[in-house]
Each structure stands twice: as C-alpha cells, then as structure tokens.
C-alpha cells in the first residue's frame, strides 16, 4: 500500500507539472508572437516632433512673426502615481527658485547667459536620452543665434575633452554668477514637499477656500474619524486614505493604522497629535508656512497663486485617478447616499486615463529653469522644446494675425480619420491615394498642442507656414519615461512667407496716424504690391496677451484692420468722383469741355438742400475735380443714372473683395431695384455720400487703375510667385480709353497743384490725387480721405490715407500724412531700398 | 514518554548504528559518500546557480544602472545555506524527529513573537530582523519543522487509518497556519496543508477521511470568503476570477506583464541579461516572486521547460528515496520534502503564467530571499540525511502495525 500510494502521489505531482508545462507551451509557443507584439507595443512608442512654423518677413527680410525656441515643462503622471511626486515637486521648487534670480528680464528671448556654465560633458552625462536631446537642442538653437559659431565645433572632441564651458567657448564677456545662485537655492528643497502635503489636504475641500483660509481645510481633516476611513469602499482606497492621513499629519503610517483600528469613533488627527488645540495649532502652522511658500513660488514664477495651485492640483488629480475610478465605481453602484464625505460623483466621474501621459505644467519656462531640469535630471519632469510665436511689434498684429490652439473638433476629426486609415492600412486594403492622405495627416494634420493660424495672414497662409511634423521612436520604461531614442525623423520647419510690405513705411504710417482711427494703404502702382497696410488705433502686446477680451470689447475696435474692414461702412466721399468722371467720359455723356451750372446748392423739394463747397458758376470737369464741385457731379450722376454708376463702380472693383488674402469686407453699392429711390439718392451716390460703402484698399485699387493706365490690378501681399493658384486673373484691362485716362489724370494733378490738396507741398513729389470728405449729418464729419499717386507722369506708388471721425479739413488731417508717406517712399527709394 | 525511552534504550544498547561508540563515528559513518545522492545534490546546485544568475539578470536595469547588491547577497545566502545543509545532514534524522515536538513548540513561540514584534512590511508582520540586515520569515521555516513533527506523530503517536483519520495531523498544521494567516500571510499558511495531507496519505489514511475533509472545506468556504478574509485578499481572488481591464496597475498588471515577458521569450529566449522587458523594469518584484518570468523571457521555452524538468527530477528523486528507505520516519520525511517543493513550484509557476491568483509564494531555490532558500535546503538536507542512514527496520509491511 505504501509503495502504491507514493506512486499515486508522484503521479499527482507529475500531473501538476504537466499542467504548468501545457500552460507554458500555450503561452510561449502558441501565443508567443502575439505576446511579443504586446511587449513591443508597450515599450516602443512613436512620439511626434512638433515642427516650427515658418517666419513671416517683409520685403526687406525683416522678420515680422517668427518662432523662437521655447521650453515647456511637462510632468509625467506615471511618476506621480508611483509616489515619487514629492521628490519631483522638490525639484520644481528649485526650478522656480532659480527663476527668481533673473526675473528682471521679462522676455528671455535669447538669454544665452543662463546656459553659459554648461559643459558639453555635462550634457553628455545626462542619463535620460530625452532630456539630453532637448538640452542639445537648446544649446544648438542658442548657439545658432550667435554669429559664426557652430554647435559641432563646441560639441566636438576638443571641447569635450577639455571641459570647456559654453561661456568660455563663446567668450569672456559674460559672468557665470548664475550657477552660484542655483546652488544656494537647492537648500530649501523640502518646500515643495510641504506644498504637496497641503495639496493633499486640500483634496477634501475646495481649493480656493484653503488659500483664503487654511483653517477651513484643517477642520475637515481634523474631523476625519477612524470609522470613516474604514468605511471607504475598497482596500486600496482605504490604504490610500491612511497613507494620505499619515503624510498629512506627519506621523507614521502604522500609527494611523492603529488609531483607525483601536479608536474608530475618534478623530485620527487628534489621536495622533494630542489635544484638539495642539493638533489644530500644529497643522495651522504647517499650512501657513506652506501657503507662504507657495505664494513665494508663485511670485518668482510670475504666476498667480491660484493658477499655480490649480496646475499642481491637476497633476495631483491625475495621480488620484486610480483612487477616483474606484470611488466612481462604488458610487455608481451604491448611489449618492453612501458617499463618503468630500467625495462626489462629479469628482469621480472625470476621465480615467492611463498614466503613460504627460501633463503640461507650464508653457515657456525660462532658460535657467531649463538648466535646472537638465543638470539635475529630476525624475518625472520633462522639458520639451515647443516653439513659441513671437511678433516684431503689436502694430503688425492686425495684419499678420495670430496663432492659437486649433479647434477641438478638428483635432478629434483628424484623429478619428487617421486611426481609421491606420486600421485599414493594417488590414492591408488601403488604396494608394489614401496612403498619401495618411502621410499628410500624420505629418501635417492638427493635433493637440499644435498652434495654428487663427487670424490674418497666419490663417490665410497656414498651409505654407506650417511645417511637417517629425517623429521619434523611443524606448520607454514602465512609467512612460523615455530611455533611448531608437529612430528619429526630424521635423521640417514651415516655409517662410515673404510679404511685399515694407516695415519702414508700415511703422511710419502707424506713427503718422497717431492713434486716430484710420488706415493707410500704399500700393506699388502697376504691380499691385501692397507696400503698407496700416491701421489705427493699435494696441500693445501686453494687453493683447493678457486682456484680449477687453480689446475685443473696446469700442474703438483696435483689433479691426481698418484698411480692409469697415465697421459701420465707410463712404468714399469725393474720391468717388473719379469713378463718375471716367464713367461720364466713357459713356459719352460729357467731354472735357461740357459744363454744368453750379449755384452753390440744389434744392429738389422743400425738405433738403444738396450743397456744394462753394458757388462755382459755369464749371467744366477739370475745375470741378480740382475744386471738388458737388453740383457738377450731381448733374453728371443724374445724367448717368444710378444703374450706370453702379456698373462703373463695380468695374473699378467696388462692391467686391479684392482677394488680397486677409479677411476683408466687400462694401456695398445700392441701386434702385426693389427700393424707394429718389433723385436725391442718385445725387448722394454720385458724390460718394451714402448708398455706397468702400474699404480704403478698394479706394487705393481704384486710384491705381487711373495711375497705371486703365488696368485693374489685384493688390497682393505676397509676391506673384508665392500666391500662384488664384482663380481671378490678377490684371483685368478695363478698356478705358487713353484719352479719358489722360483727362482724369490731368484733373487729378490739378487737385494737387491748385485744388483741395494744394496747400501741403505735395507738389514736391509731382503727385496727383483726390481728397474726399464724407459727411453723414449736418455737423458730423464721418470720414476724410486722400488718395493719390506720384510721380504724376510715371506713377510708382499709390497712397491712400483715411481717417475716421476726425475733425478738421483734409488739408490739416489726411494730406500731411500722405505727404509723409510720399516722402518716406521716395527717400527709401533714394537709398536704393 | 514511552517513545523517548524506547529510542534512548535503542541507542544505549549500541544504537541502530553499531559504530556510534566514538563521537566522530556518530557523524561520519563508513560508506557515507557512496550513499550521497548526487542526483538530488546536483539538481539542487544547478537550480541554485540558475537562481543566482537570474537574480543578477533581474537586477540589470536600464533605468538605475549600478550595483543593486541583490546577487551578492543571494550568494551570501547560498553560502549560509551550505552550512545549514551540512548541519542538517550530519545530525542523524532520528534525533531530529525525536526533538521535533520541541522544535514545534519553539516554532509556535517564534510565530507568536513575529506576530507582535515582527518587522512591518507591506502591511503585514512577516519578518524577524537578524544581524546585518539579514532577516528571516519564520513562516517559511515552519515547513521542515512541520515535516519532522508530522513524521513523528504519524510514526509513533497516531494511527492515520483510524476513524479520526486526518484530524490530528491537520490540527497540528492548523495551529501554526493560523498564526501565519494572522500576520497576515494567507498564501503561505495555505501551503502548509498539502504536507499533512500527503504524509497521512502515504502513511495510510483512509480515503473516506479525505472525502470528509473535502466536504468540510466546501461547506466552510463561502463563510470564510465573506467573513474570514481581508479585503485585499478578496480583491486578489476576485481579480483572478474576473479580471478587469481598467485596473492595469494592480495585481492584474503584474500577471499581465509576467505573461507578456514569458510569451515574448518565445522558444529560445532573448539571452541571459538581454530581455528588454526585464531591463526596462516593466515587472516589479521580478527578483523574488516573478523570477520565472525573467527566465521565460531570457531563456525562452527551452529554459523554462528545463527548469520545470529539473524540479520534477528533484521531486521524483525525493520520492525515490522514500521508496528505497525502509524506515517509516525517513519515508515520511522524504515524502514531505517532495511535497514542500512540488506545491510551491506549481503555485508560483502557475501564477507567473496567469493560471493561478497572485500570491507571494516564491519559487524554491530560484527566487531571491534567504528564508525560502534555507527552508528548502533544510528539506534537501533532511532527504540526504534519510538516504545516508538507512536504518534497518524489522516490520512486516511498509506501514502495517
């Protein structure tokens, strides 16, 4: 019996081994490749590399908008979950403490000073590949700002061996005092530890409450009883709560366990810390200190305290997700009645995410902070190069526009489409055409964190400006930290956009407008190139960045580009008489000799008087234009009729968008169809008062027709080659006879020589032009215009100056600005551009 | 005290071993080397070497380069275990059996002491710190003591084929098991029970008793599950029965990662120290409970199967010793040791392969940890001891009265 039983026992053991053996075969042989795939998927991740946007430069190559290397600070949520968060936060405190030392410089654009103490050996010694690569990126981009220096030279063998610092490499003129300061600041490392503890306490109450009055949070913590802790659902949550309490009270975890077990009905805090007063006092003390320190960090990091706390709170929120998901589960099954205090369904219902992800702590951290992260390789914190759009000056903003985060819906749509294509590609039934779409989506499709042109030229030329995203295959560890870069394709920077605009004219125009509401448009005659497209009033960058809503609400509408947008509708005034003159001559209604009788006013009925600027008597086209005689053009308009006027206005490009490439208004020309229309309306239309609205750009376009020989040239902001695929032909011959043009040109020269624009020395530039004043009410001057070109015999440039609601005659307001523009243009020509 | 008198008188009259008259002769008997079972010794040594290798491999991490100290510490433990092995081999096992009740009572005392004054780790008191950072888990040491005391009881005190059958051995196991379960360390406590069951079975317990025990267990299971277990224990069982995808960082995460590691090893494995999942730290605790996963990744199917075969060989040779030895106590000891190796091997490997719940049961001879190593070396020592001293016994059958 004994032997047989031993044999049976041996059989049982053999059976157990057989089971394990079968399972082993199943996993390693049968499912081997599947599990290998899973392993690869877990450890190798494709990371996109964001591309820099192209620059926008003016015709001389001056950058107007450009990306500068910026560094964003990310934290990896996985680290915070694994409980090393305190160390990382301590590291954070170093970063912002170091930041305090150079806070005077608000822009950190090219602060090469801060990177000087770094040696290439320091960087090579950084353990994390990712941080090392970013450090190199940073140094490289810094060195590229310096003339004739190459990063390769610095990182080459000679420098690496000798331990030259970047400072020594660049030159002796900069001081290395910064490192000493960083060293000093390392001493109070535990600052953030305390901050973290406070935030833990805050978890149970509202954040704002704690900041205003820490005792609110304390009371909540002080009231936690042992039985509440043991009543939490799920052991993990309970353990978490106990650890939190231990951390919060600064006592051993075992002690908390013991109190929870032995004194379920009593407050854990009081049991752990003594009497109520003792406990309150001790915790108050800690909290006060922490709030003070938080404020200090907030101050040196240039951020609001509440913002700082919220950012950190978000990080901690991620760290809490595991607990929260548990609570959420519990709450959905048990209902709100059983909710432990301080935990709500809303709190728990937020999305649960896998810890392999990053959370952005701060955008554009200063370089010395980058240095701290690099040199200490703080776990869980990652610096990533994310370029930041800088703009030359705020006056360019209205034209260039700005970038912003892309529309959430578009990101989601892109993502969905991309993943659909990817699954199809994996199945292998992806047509070639869609393959290129997939490539395009991967490289250029919008993703979270991108910035995309949201206004102005940034938006129009988005396709050109946006670069191609690169990617990087990285090996990563359990918590998502990059260990090694396996393969990398660098991102491709977007193309530069060269504008036809000349910043000197642009700046001068803005200065000349002097915050009055108005616009200046300068076109190259014959080419249609926009040399200047300025609008006023402007705004400064600070208020743009911080007070955008206020800017939008401002009733002076500074965000509006007045050269192309018409907030209420601008009337062209007497400048429209140019169109009338051409129309009259071309339709054969008048010749240069035909005259009308001006009696100073017209009075069709008893109600309204249609005035002229003076009593001109018998007047022909030439003098009517120079003196801007209204009655002449009333009569001309009357003979033409509103339909003809409208036709000719449209021929000159009014009522349609010019297609310049920024968001613009088309303007409107009214006509009698379907409307009550009297003779007075025709008269108004004839002299550009009422019934027609235009933009300054359209007026400039009209004048350039006269200036360069009867062709409508589309104004353009980018040179011809760059803006190729326009459906409109950019040059339309209007079929205006040579004779008509000469007549009108002579009349316009007369305006400058003897007429309404003669007083301000425009003659010096042999200019021709027309002034205009649109009156809306009896005493309110709505808009004043000057539009002209020079030199009269071979026009090079068309200048349009427009001012809104500015008192004073055209001679005092717009003509001097025009003169300045001509002066600037011709003097820059003399300098040979 | 009849037992003591009996054995003592045997010894005084020249003992079962006639050559015990000198002190040296007591320990070194003629022909001792011929009787050493080199198969068992060799298998054990190979397993320990593989263990040390893979503890070294599991300490290679791309994240925290540098010495982790674990491999050298394991080598120290191996050195200590050789000493312990020699001691256990040299003292005649009959003496150990004779003193087993004393060991047993001592064990209970130590377990009780650990319960109150042990070192707190991961929420339970399992450790007794010794000198220089070395610590012991008394719950592990309970196994050889249990084997000895059960052999003694089944041989001299109790008839396993009596109507009460398994009750006495199970009770004897139950007392230390309760103490261990209260630490709390349920898995280790549960792993005590195969020993009395196997020993009684071999000693001739009735099959009826086994059915009765099974019935009692079935009836007692639900109330125990709901009232006797702690939350985390319940959670683990739940996780095993109904795995949840959402809980990717919990116990399920470990098993998932372990399966991925073993599976990605394929047939030949990635090579010692070359496993990417191992080096990237994807599986926590891989030096101890999940050492088999590292072997799976780096040596593949070939390595895992070899390790399993080595264990099977070891267990079968222990049972072979039991068959060869005529003395009942020795037989029981050999059977007990075979059980105490086979069951943890099964539980541990099945866990790493995702076929059993996550428990903190180490893999004998391979996992990092001194207590487990010492325990199993003691077991091997006992088997060698039995094999060396084949006491001639006059009996009618194997276990007949």
Helical residues (DSSP H) of B70-229, grouped into ranges:
70-90, 93-98, 100-117, 138-152, 167-181, 186-190, 194-203, 207-223
pLDDT of B294 higher than 50: yes
What are the angstrom distances between the C-alpha of A324 and each of A78, A195, A334, B233?
A: 15, 21, 15, 21
B399 near A CB under 8 A: yes
Nearest Cα residue to A833 out of A497, A498, A504: A504
Q: Is the pLDDT of residue B249 over 50?
A: no
Residue partners of B238: CB distance under 8 A and separation at least 6: none
From first CA to last CA, the distance across chain B in angstroms is 20
Which of A632-636, B98-102, B231-235 is predicted least confidently? B231-235
Quick one: pLDDT at residue B46? 96
Measure B202 CA to nearest chain A CA, in Å. Answer: 6
CB contact under 8 A, B235 and A19: no
Closest CA of chain A from B280, distance in Å: 5
Q: How confident is the model at residue A480 (pLDDT cuts 50, 70, 90)?
A: low
pLDDT for residue B145: 95
User: What is the C-alpha radius of gyration for chain B, rounded to an integer number of angstroms?
Assistant: 22
Q: Which pLDDT score is estimated for A200?
A: 45
B-chain residues near A239 (CB < 8 A): 123
What chain B residue is nearest to A379 in terms of C-alpha separation? B63
Q: Does B136 touch chain A (CB under 8 A)?
A: no
- Cα-flanking dihedrals φ and ψ of residue B368, to 5°? -70, 140
% helix, strand, coil for chain B, step of 5: 65, 5, 30
More confident residue, A148 or B313: B313
A41 contacts chain B (CB < 8 A): no
pLDDT above 50 (res A492): yes
Residue closest to A375 by CA, chosen among A40, A699, A123: A123
Give A12→chain B minimum CA distance, Å. 10
CA distance B303 to B314: 16
Angle between helices B370-388 and B38-59 (to 10 degrees): 170
Write down the pLDDT at residue B124: 64
With 90 as the cut, is the pLDDT of residue B340 above it?
A: yes
Mean pLDDT across A606-628: 78
Closest CA to A573 of A702, A711, A744: A702
Collapsing DSSP to helix, strand or coil, B126 comes out as strand
Q: Is A146 on the interface with B (CB under 8 A)?
A: no
Residue B313 has pLDDT above 90, yes or no: yes
Most confident among A348-362, A403-417, A634-648, B45-59 (mean pLDDT)? B45-59
Tell me the domains of chain A and their CATH numbers: 74-117+176-386 (no CATH), 503-830 (3.40.710.10)
The reported pLDDT for the residue numbered A41 is: 82
B146 touches chain A (CB under 8 A): no
CA distance A23 to chain B (A): 7
- A236 contacts in B (CB within 8 Å)? 232, 235, 250
Cα distance between residue A136 and residue A2, in whole Å: 75
B202, B230, B277 ranked by CB distance to A9: nearest: B202
CB-based contact A29 B335, cutoff 8 Å: no
Q: Is the model's pLDDT at A712 over the cut of 50?
A: yes
- pLDDT value of residue A317: 47
Model pLDDT for residues A760-779, shown as the tens digit of each residue: 677 777 888 888 888 765 54
Give the model confidence (pLDDT) of A40-51 as tens digits: 888 887 777 778
Chain A residues in contact with B343 by the CB 8 A cut-off are 16
Band of pLDDT at residue A109, cut at 50, 70 and 90: very low
C-alpha pair distances (Å), A474 with each of A34, A41, B349 = 21, 11, 32
B363 exposure class (CB count in 10 Å sphere: 0-12, 13-18, 19+)? buried
CA distance A72 to A364: 5
pLDDT (mean) for A72-92: 49
Contact A13 B304 (CB under 8 A): no
Rounded CA gap, A103 and A196, in Å? Answer: 25
CB-CB contact of A70 with A388 (8 Å): yes
pLDDT above 90 coverage of chain A, percent: 3
Q: How many residues are there in chain A?
A: 833
Of residues A428 and A741, more confidence is placed in: A741
Rounded to whole angstroms, how far apart are CA atoms A29 and A514? 80
Q: A204-232 pLDDT, tens per residue?
A: 333 344 444 555 555 656 667 777 667 66
Contacts of B385 (CB under 8 A, 6+ apart): B88, B89, B91, B92, B93, B96, B333
Task: Inspect the interface and report whether the beta carbons of B308 and A21 lie closer than 8 Å.
Answer: yes
Residues 6+ apart with CB under 8 A from A736: A582, A586, A705, A710
How far is it, in rounded angstroms, from Cα B48 to Cα B44? 6
Contact present, B154 and B332 (Cβ < 8 Å): yes
Q: What is the pLDDT of residue A250?
A: 63
The more confident residue out of A614 and B21 is A614
pLDDT over threshold 90, residue B103 = yes
Q: What is the pLDDT of residue A795?
A: 86
Tokens linked to A662: 């920024």
Pick the closest to residue B179 from B142, B150, B153 (CA basis).
B142
Nearest by CB to B204, which of A1, A35, A40? A1
> Across all residues in chain A, what is the average pLDDT?
70
The pLDDT tens digits of the residues spanning A349-359 come to: 333 334 445 66
Q: What integer pLDDT is reported at residue A135 of this predicted model?
A: 58
Residue A148, sorted as left (phi over 0), alpha (psi -120 to 50) or beta, turns out to be left
Distance from C-alpha of A631 to C-alpha of A617, rounded to nearest angstrom: 10
Residue for token digits 């209204």? A630
- For B335, list phi and psi in degrees, rounded to 5: -65, -40
Q: Say whether A27 and B312 touch across the interface (CB within 8 A).
A: no
A269 versus A494: the higher-pLDDT residue is A494
- In this prediction the ipTM stands at 0.89
Q: Which residues of A778-800 are buried (b: 16+ CB within 10 A; e: fewer)?
A: eeebbbbbbbbbbebeebbbbbb
In degrees and rounded to multiples of 5, residue A665 shows phi and psi of -95, 155
Give me the pLDDT at residue A97, please: 43
Rounded CA gap, B192 and B375, in Å?
13
The confidence score (pLDDT) of residue A293 equals: 54
Please write the tens of the pLDDT for every residue from A233-255: 556 556 666 766 666 666 677 77
Q: With a cut of 80, say whether residue A298 has pLDDT above it.
A: no
- The DSSP secondary structure of A636-684, one letter per residue, reads HHHHH-HHHHHHHHHHTTTTS----SS-----EE--STTS---HHHHHH
Question: For residue A693, is pLDDT > 80?
Answer: yes
Q: A780: which 2 tokens?
A: 């309110």
Task: Answer yes or no: is pLDDT of B72 > 80.
Answer: yes
pLDDT over threshold 80, residue A430: no
Region of poorest pLDDT, from A310-324, A364-378, B115-129, B233-247: A310-324
Flag whether pLDDT at A484 surpasses 60: yes
Lowest mean pLDDT among A552-566, B87-101, B125-139: B125-139
Q: Identify the pLDDT of residue B334.
A: 94
DSSP state of A730: S
**CB-CB under 8 Å, A28 with B263:** yes
Chain A residues within 8 A of B62 when measuring between CB atoms: 477, 483-484
Three-state secondary structure call for residue A813: coil
Q: Which pLDDT does position A303 carry in this prediction? A: 55
Task: Tell me what percent of the residues of chain B surpass a pLDDT of 70.
Answer: 78
Phi, psi (deg, nearest 5) at residue B364: -55, 140
Going by C-beta distance under 8 Å and a sequence separation of 6 or more, which residues neighbour residue B161? B204, B205, B206
Nearest residue to A622 via CA among A588, A649, A595: A595
In this prediction, residue B327 has a pLDDT band, given cuts at 50, 70 and 90, of confident
Predicted pLDDT at B44: 95
Please tell me what DSSP assigns to residue A529.
Answer: B
* Residue with more model confidence, A518 or B145: B145
- For the record, the structure tokens of A524 come out as 């190259």
Q: Is-cis flag, bond preceding A537, omega within 30?
A: yes
Give Cβ neighbours of residue A155 (< 8 Å, ≥ 6 apart): A120, A136
Tokens of B223: 């109330």
Average pLDDT, chain B: 81
**Cα B369-B375-B379 angle, rounded to 5 deg:** 145
What mean pLDDT do residues A188-209 have? 39
Mean pLDDT of A787-812: 81
pLDDT on residue B176: 93
Residues in A 453-492 with any Cβ partner in B closer than 8 A = 475-478, 481, 483-484
* Res B10: pLDDT: 43
């Amino acid at each position: 019996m004994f032997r047989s039983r031993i044999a049976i026992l041996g059989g049982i053991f053999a059976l157990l081994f057989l089971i394990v053996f079968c399972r082993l075969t199943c996993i390693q042989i049968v499912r081997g490749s599947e599990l290998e795939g899973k392993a690869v998927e877990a450890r190798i991740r494709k990371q996109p590399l964001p591309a820099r946007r192209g620059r926008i430069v003016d015709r001389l190559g001056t950058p107007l908008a450009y990306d500068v290397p910026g560094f964003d600070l990310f934290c990896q949520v996985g680290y915070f979950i694994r409980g090393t968060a305190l160390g990382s936060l301590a590291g954070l405190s170093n970063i912002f403490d170091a930041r305090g030392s150079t806070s005077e410089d608000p822009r950190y654009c090219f602060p090469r000073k801060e990177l000087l103490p770094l040696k290439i050996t320091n960087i090579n010694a950084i353990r994390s590949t990712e941080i090392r690569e970013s450090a190199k990126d940073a140094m490289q981009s810094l060195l590229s700002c310096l003339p004739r220096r190459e990063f390769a030279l610095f990182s080459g063998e000679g420098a690496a061996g000798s331990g030259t610092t970047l400072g020594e490499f660049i030159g002796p003129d900069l001081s290395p005092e910064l490192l000493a300061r960083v060293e000093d600041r390392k001493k109070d490392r535990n600052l953030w530890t305390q901050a973290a503890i406070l935030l833990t306490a805050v978890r149970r109450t509202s954040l704002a409450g704690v900041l205003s009055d820490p005792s609110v949070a304390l009371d909540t913590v002080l009231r936690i009883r042992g039985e509440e802790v043991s009543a939490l659902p799920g052991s993990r949550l309970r353990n978490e709560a106990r650890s939190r309490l231990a951390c919060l009270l600064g006592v051993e975890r075992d002690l908390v366990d013991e109190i929870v077990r032995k004194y379920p009905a009593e407050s854990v805090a009081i049991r752990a810390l003594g009497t109520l007063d003792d406990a309150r006092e001790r915790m108050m003390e800690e909290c006060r200190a922490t709030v003070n320190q938080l404020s200090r960090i907030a101050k040196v990091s240039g951020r609001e305290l509440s913002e700082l706390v919220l950012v950190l709170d978000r990080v901690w929120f991620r760290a809490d997700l595991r607990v929260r998901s548990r609570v959420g589960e519990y709450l959905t099954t048990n209902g709100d009645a059983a909710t432990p205090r301080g935990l709500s369904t809303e709190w728990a219902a937020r999305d649960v995410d896998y810890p392999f992800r990053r959370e952005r702590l701060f955008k554009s951290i200063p370089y010395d902070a980058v240095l701290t992260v690099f040199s200490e390789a703080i776990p869980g914190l990652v610096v990533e190069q994310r370029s930041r759009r800088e703009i030359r000056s705020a006056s360019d903003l209205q034209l260039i526009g700005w970038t912003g985060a892309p529309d959430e819906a578009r990101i989601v749509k892109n993502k969905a489409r991309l993943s659909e294509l990817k699954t199809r590609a994996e199945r292998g039934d992806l047509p070639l055409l869609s393959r290129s779409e997939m490539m395009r989506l991967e490289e250029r499709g919008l993703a979270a964190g991108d910035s995309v042109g949201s206004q102005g030229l940034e938006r129009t030329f988005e396709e050109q400006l946006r670069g191609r995203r690169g990617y990087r295959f990285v090996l990563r560890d359990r918590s998502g930290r990059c260990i090694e870069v396996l393969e990398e394709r660098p991102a491709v920077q977007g193309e530069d956009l060269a504008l036809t605009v000349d910043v000197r004219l642009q700046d001068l125009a803005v200065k000349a407008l002097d915050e009055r509401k108005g616009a200046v448009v300068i076109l190259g005659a014959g080419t249609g190139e926009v040399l200047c497209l300025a609008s006023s009033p402007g705004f400064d960058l600070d208020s743009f960045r911080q007070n955008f809503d206020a800017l939008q609400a401002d009733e002076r509408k500074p965000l509006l580009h007045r050269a192309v947008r018409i907030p209420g509708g601008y009337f062209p005034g007497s400048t429209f008489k140019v169109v009338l003159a051409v129309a009259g001559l071309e339709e054969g209604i008048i010749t240069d000799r035909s005259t009308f009788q001006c009696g100073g006013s017209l009075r069709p009925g008893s109600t309204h008087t249609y005035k002229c600027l003076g009593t001109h008597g018998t007047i022909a086209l030439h003098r009517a234009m120079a003196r801007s005689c209204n009655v002449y053009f009333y009569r001309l308009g009357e003979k033409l009729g509103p339909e003809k006027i409208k036709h000719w206005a449209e021929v000159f490009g009014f009522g349609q968008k010019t297609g310049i490439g920024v968001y613009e208004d088309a303007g409107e020309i009214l006509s009698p169809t379907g409307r009550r229309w009297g003779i007075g309306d025709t008269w108004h239309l004839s002299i550009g008062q009422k019934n027609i609205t235009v933009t300054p750009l359209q007026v400039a376009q009209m004048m350039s027709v006269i200036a360069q020989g009867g062709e409508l040239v589309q104004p353009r902001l980018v040179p011809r080659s760059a803006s190729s695929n326009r459906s409109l032909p950019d040059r339309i011959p209007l079929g205006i006879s040579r004779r008509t043009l000469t007549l009108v040109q002579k009349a316009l020269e007369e305006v400058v020589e003897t007429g309404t624009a003669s007083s301000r020395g425009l003659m010096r530039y042999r200019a021709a032009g027309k002034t205009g004043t649109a009156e809306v009410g009896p005493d309110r001057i709505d808009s004043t215009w000057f539009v002209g070109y020079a030199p009269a015999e071979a026009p090079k440039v068309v200048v349009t100056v427009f001012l809104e609601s500015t008192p004073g005659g055209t001679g005092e307001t717009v003509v001097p600005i025009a003169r300045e523009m001509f002066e600037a243009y011709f003097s820059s020509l003399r300098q040979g551009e | 005290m009849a037992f003591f008198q009996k054995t003592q008188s045997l010894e005084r009259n020249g003992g079962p071993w006639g050559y015990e008259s000198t002190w040296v002769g007591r320990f070194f008997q003629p022909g001792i080397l011929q009787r050493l079972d080199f198969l068992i010794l060799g298998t054990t040594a190979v397993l320990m070497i593989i263990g040390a290798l893979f503890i070294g491999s599991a300490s290679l991490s791309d994240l925290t380069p540098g010495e982790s100290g674990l491999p050298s510490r394991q080598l120290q433990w191996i050195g200590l275990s050789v000493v312990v092995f020699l001691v256990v081999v040299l003292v005649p096992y009959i003496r150990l059996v004779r003193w087993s009740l004393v060991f047993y009572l001592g064990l209970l005392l130590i377990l009780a002491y650990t319960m109150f004054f042990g070192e707190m780790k991961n929420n339970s008191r399992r450790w007794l710190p010794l000198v220089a950072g070395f610590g012991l888990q008394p719950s592990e040491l309970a196994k050889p003591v249990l084997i000895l005391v059960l052999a003694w009881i089944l041989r001299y005190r109790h008839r396993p084929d009596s109507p009460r059958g398994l009750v006495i051995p199970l009770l004897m196991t139950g007392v230390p098991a309760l103490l261990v379960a209260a630490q709390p360390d349920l898995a280790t406590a549960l792993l005590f029970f195969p020993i009395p069951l196997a020993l009684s079975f071999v000693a001739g317990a009735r099959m009826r008793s086994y059915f009765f025990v099974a019935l009692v267990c079935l009836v007692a299971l639900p109330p125990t599950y709901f009232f006797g277990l702690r939350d985390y224990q319940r959670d683990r069982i739940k996780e095993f029965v109904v795995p949840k995808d959402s809980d990717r960082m919990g116990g399920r995460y470990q098993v998932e990662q372990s399966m991925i590691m073993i599976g990605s090893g394929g047939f030949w494995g990635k090579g010692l120290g070359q496993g990417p999942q191992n080096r990237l730290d994807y599986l926590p605790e891989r030096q101890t409970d999940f050492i088999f996963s590292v072997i799976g990744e780096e040596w593949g199917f070939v390595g895992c199967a070899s390790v399993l075969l080595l264990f099977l060989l070891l267990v079968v040779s222990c049972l072979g010793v039991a068959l060869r030895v005529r003395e009942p106590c020795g037989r029981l000891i050999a059977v007990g040791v075979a059980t105490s190796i086979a069951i943890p091997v099964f539980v541990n490997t099945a866990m790493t392969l995702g076929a059993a719940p996550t428990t903190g049961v180490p893999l004998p001879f391979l996992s990092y940890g001194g207590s487990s190593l010492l325990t199993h070396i003691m077991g091997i020592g006992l088997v060698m001891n039995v094999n060396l001293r084949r006491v001639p016994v006059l009996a009618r059958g194997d276990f007949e009265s």
